[in-house]
């Protein structure tokens, strides 16, 4: 998508704006296309709480800005970004906005028309579906203006040695044999989440987040990384004197699964001066008892390394 958009819209000196809390998947493609088109990548700074500096973002928008690409929810911090406001500010200057919804699609209601985003992308495996598939929403006029990024299969209407005529949307971007099994699995996952209800999921997970934040904040030597006022159900933390990988190992021995590392968000770790964090990602299948077990296991890890 980045390659296709860049070919059409980017030139020397043009700018793409991303944030300092992006997943690598929303950094590397834009670096690649900016290198190819001699464009510039600009980064919105974040506060110590892990919130975007909106005043700085507004100042960064200019006539050279050709796209804003920002995460709806940070995978490393849990921050829920004010994407509706960011989109409105960008649109005042005629700048389209891509929202990375990988971390939001399964946790909260999302209405792309209400947001008025120009592109919205999410991945299946974050939505309890199969790996290797996802979805990209885009406004018709932008998608029609973009050239295909792959050739073959159903992306053509007719082919001759003189000229190939591309198919209509969405087939123009769906070259080759579709990931049929993945599509069926993703549809089942979406039906599953919709049956539970995204609003209900958001309310339940907010309660878990509040409870978990209270428990972990009371642990001596533990520091939560990402304390934005608007957060999704992510508890990312470090413990004084213990590497995050060691914390994760002790927790694993107690049957508590967290992820430890840079979470494919190395610039975020650099911003906070950390090599890694331990991250407990909460979903609607978790309970308060799980958070009690997490807290107990963290105390055990502290005792082990005391």
What value does the mean pLDDT of the chain take?
A: 96
30 shares its domain with 125: yes
> Which structural domain, as residue segments, surrounds residue 109?
2-194
pLDDT, position 71: 98
Tally of structural domains, the chain: 2
> CA-to-CA distance for 122 and 111, rounded, in angstroms?
13
292 shares its domain with 143: no
| Exposed e or buried b per residue across 164-176, where buried means at least 16 C-beta atoms within 10 angstroms of its C-beta | eebbeeebbbbbe
60 shares its domain with 157: yes
The CATH number of the domain holding residue 220 is: 3.90.1150.10
Residue of 179, 80, 196, 195 lying closest to 134 (CA atoms): 179
23 shares its domain with 137: yes
81 shares its domain with 134: yes
7 has a pLDDT exceeding 90: no
Single out the catalytic residue among 34, 53, 117, 264: 264
Say which residues have a Cβ less than 8 Å from residue 63's Cβ, sequence separation at least 6: 93
50 shares its domain with 128: yes
The CATH number of the domain holding residue 57 is: 3.40.640.10
Q: What is the pTM of this model?
A: 0.94
Of 194, 228, 249, the residue that ends a domain is: 194
Give mean pLDDT, residues 172-198: 95
Quick one: tokens of 167? 């198919």
Of 176, 194, 212, the residue that ends a domain is: 194
Catalytic site includes residue 264: yes
185 shares its domain with 206: no
126 has a pLDDT exceeding 90: yes
pLDDT, position 153: 86
Of 194, 212, 246, the residue that ends a domain is: 194
pLDDT band at 82 (very low <50, low <70, confident <90, very high): very high
User: What is the C-alpha end-to-end distance of the chain, expressed in Å?
Assistant: 49
pLDDT band at 62 (very low <50, low <70, confident <90, very high): very high
230 shares its domain with 190: no
96 shares its domain with 141: yes
128 shares its domain with 186: yes
pLDDT band at 152 (very low <50, low <70, confident <90, very high): confident
187 shares its domain with 233: no
265 shares its domain with 120: no
């Amino acid at each position: 998508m980045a390659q296709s958009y860049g070919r059409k819209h980017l030139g020397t000196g043009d700018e793409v704006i991303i944030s300092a809390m992006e997943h690598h998947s929303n950094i590397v493609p834009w670096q690649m296309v900016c290198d190819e088109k001699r464009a510039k990548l600009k980064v919105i700074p974040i506060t110590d709480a892990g919130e975007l500096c909106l005043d700085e973002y507004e100042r960064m928008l200019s006539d050279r800005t050709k796209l804003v690409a920002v995460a709806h929810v940070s995978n490393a911090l849990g921050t829920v970004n004010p994407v509706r406001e960011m989109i409105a500010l960008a649109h005042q200057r005629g700048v389209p906005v891509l929202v990375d919804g990988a971390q939001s699609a399964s946790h909260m209601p999302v209405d792309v028309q209400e947001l008025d985003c120009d592109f919205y992308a999410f991945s299946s495996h974050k939505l309890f579906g199969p790996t290797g598939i996802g979805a990209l929403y885009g406004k018709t006029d932008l998608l029609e203006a973009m050239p295909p990024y792959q050739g073959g299969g159903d992306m053509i209407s007719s082919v001759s040695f003189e000229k190939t005529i591309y198919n209509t949307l969405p087939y123009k971007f769906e070259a080759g044999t579709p990931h049929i099994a993945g599509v069926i699995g993703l549809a089942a996952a979406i039906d599953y989440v919709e049956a539970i209800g995204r609003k209900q999921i958001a309310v339940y997970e907010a309660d878990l987040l509040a409870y978990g934040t209270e428990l972990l904040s009371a642990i001596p030597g533990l520091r939560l990384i990402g304390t934005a006022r608007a957060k999704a159900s992510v508890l990312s933390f470090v413990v004084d004197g213990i590497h995050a990988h060691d914390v994760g190992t002790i927790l694993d021995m107690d049957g508590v699964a967290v992820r430890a590392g840079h979470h494919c968000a190395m610039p975020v770790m650099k911003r906070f001066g950390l090599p890694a964090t331990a991250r407990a990602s909460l979903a609607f299948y978790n309970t308060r008892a799980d958070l009690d077990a997490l807290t107990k296991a963290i105390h055990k890890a502290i005792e082990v390394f005391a």
